[in-house]
Structure 1
């Protein structure tokens, strides 16, 4: 079979012929239709993640969509985090109890692009952030997959207003396409200026901030929260530290909450994937993505890592149809 291999940490994968996997106890073989290149894949393959340097060669891909016995399924993997291979191959061996069957009408490519990023958006809003209909939400990093999904999911959950924050013009355009009521440019590190922009875009005090960025944008958005408001952090792409002031937190008794998909139980994750799939199949959830044949994995990997791709890149070992 054809597969992408990470042969050296920090280098793009090489597409090569490999022996098909042999399923172990409790595993089934999945014919892979779609395998997204995610930030977690890039991090694990760099050899600098908190999971340690992966044993090479290995097939990357921490999630994918494929078919088993005529069923279309989503599946996870531990590729790059633990020994074993992932989704960027024509066939993957997957624990059967980790499969999530997808509904009729679900687009495998769209579901692969959404994947665990949309799960994070959904669970950070609903489970961790306790979003209630009628509340006002600020979504930071709204041009990324998590942010695009969060803007749409907040709307369908009943948010009265969604204010997005995004850095580049392209990211702001994606946030607008995701249905944000207003989009704030995050093109400065001046916290006071960003806070002013958020306040101007908001309809009064904000109830909930969803934050995959941290850094100055999170500090600015926190200033717009109402007393008792919540900020859920699920990333740090703008900085590992945040200049939020103690008085901002104490003065309004704010709740600062962390979120990671790693804390979900298998049952929670499966239910969240099923929810995301149903929303996508109903036409209420979609993110910008592009599809690339598995043969072009190396170039696609570079573009995703450099941030020059138009959206989430999804590799197609076995294109649908």
Structure 2
């Protein structure tokens, strides 16, 4: 079979021939139809993640979509986090507990593009963020798949108003197409107070901030929260540190919450994923992504935006 293979940490994969994987007890073999290149794949392959330097060579791909006994499934792997291979190949193995059967009408490449990014957005909104009907949501990092998903899923979850923040006009235009009521473009060199004023002018008092970026944007977004408001952080694309004066937190009894998909049980992840897929089938959720043949994995490895490899 053809597979993308990481041969050295920090280097792009090489597409090569490999033997088809054989499942061990408790595992199943999936014929892959779509495998996304996610930030976690890039981080693990770089050798700089907290999982350590991965054992090479290995096939990357922490999630994918494929066929199992002729039925469409989504599956997860631990490629790059633990020894073993992932989804960026014609065939992959996964633990049976990490396989979710999909509805027949599911779009394989779209589900692969959304995957755990959309699961995180949904759980941050409805679980950790405790979104209530009619509340205002501010989505930072709206250009990424988590942010794109959050803009759409916030409406599904009952938000009264959704405002998107991103660095590019293209991302903001897409957010508007996805239903954002307002948009704010991040500007280079802006300070926290200046951005907070602009966010507040567009978003007004905010109930919930979904934050995949941290850094200065998160610090500014906190200042837009109404008393009792919440910020849920699930990433650090804009920086590892968010400067927050104590008075900002205490004066309005704000809550800052952290989220990771790793806290989900297999059943919780399955339920959230199926909710996401149902929204794609209903036409309420989509994402911007690029479909690329598996053979071109090396050239697509560091390409901006979400790429889905197709064997």
TM-score, normalisation: structure 2: 0.98
- Residue correspondence of structure 1 range 174-185 to structure 2 within 5 A: 174-185=174-185
**Which residue matches 1:271?**
271
TM-score, normalisation: structure 1: 0.95
Q: Deviations for 1:56-113, whole angstroms, at most 9, x for unmatched residues?
A: 0000000000001111000000000000000000000111222111113210000000
8 Å CA contact 2:6–2:12 kept in 1: the answer is yes
SS of residue in 1 equivalent to 2:119: helix
**Which residue matches 1:4?**
4
2-structure distance, mates of 1:80, 1:192? 40
**Which residue matches 1:58?**
58
**Which residue matches 2:228?**
228
2-structure distance, mates of 1:15, 1:137? 42
1-structure distance, mates of 2:179, 2:244? 28
8 Å CA contact 2:97–2:266 kept in 1: the answer is no
- RMSD between aligned alpha carbons? 0.9
2-structure distance, mates of 1:7, 1:170? 35
User: Cα distance, 1:302 vs. partner?
Assistant: 2.6
The count of residues paired between Structure 1 and Structure 2 equals 310
The runs of 5 or more residues in structure 2 that have no matched partner are none
User: Cα distance, 1:161 vs. partner?
Assistant: 0.6
1-structure distance, mates of 2:247, 2:173? 34
2-structure distance, mates of 1:136, 1:97? 36
**Which residue matches 1:155?**
155
8 Å CA contact 1:62–1:87 kept in 2: the answer is yes
1-structure distance, mates of 2:160, 2:198? 19
**Which residue matches 1:80?**
80
2-structure distance, mates of 1:286, 1:244? 34
- Residue correspondence of structure 1 range 283-294 to structure 2 within 5 A: 283-294=283-294
Instruction: Establish whether residue 29 from structure 1 lines up as the match of residue 23 from structure 2.
Output: no
- Residue correspondence of structure 1 range 163-174 to structure 2 within 5 A: 163-174=163-174
User: Cα distance, 1:167 vs. partner?
Assistant: 0.9
**Which residue matches 1:191?**
192
User: Cα distance, 1:157 vs. partner?
Assistant: 1.1
Q: Deviations for 1:179-217, whole angstroms, at most 9, x for unmatched residues?
A: 211110111331111111111112x31100000011111
2-structure distance, mates of 1:36, 1:234? 19
2-structure distance, mates of 1:9, 1:174? 34
8 Å CA contact 2:142–2:151 kept in 1: the answer is yes
Q: Deviations for 1:29-71, whole angstroms, at most 9, x for unmatched residues?
A: 1000000000000000000100000000000000000001111
User: Cα distance, 1:295 vs. partner?
Assistant: 0.3
8 Å CA contact 1:143–1:173 kept in 2: the answer is no
Q: Deviations for 1:253-272, whole angstroms, at most 9, x for unmatched residues?
A: 00100000111111111111
1-structure distance, mates of 2:176, 2:223? 23
User: Cα distance, 1:176 vs. partner?
Assistant: 2.0
**Which residue matches 2:20?**
20
User: Cα distance, 1:156 vs. partner?
Assistant: 1.2
2-structure distance, mates of 1:123, 1:151? 13
2-structure distance, mates of 1:173, 1:7? 39
The runs of 5 or more residues in structure 1 that have no matched partner are none
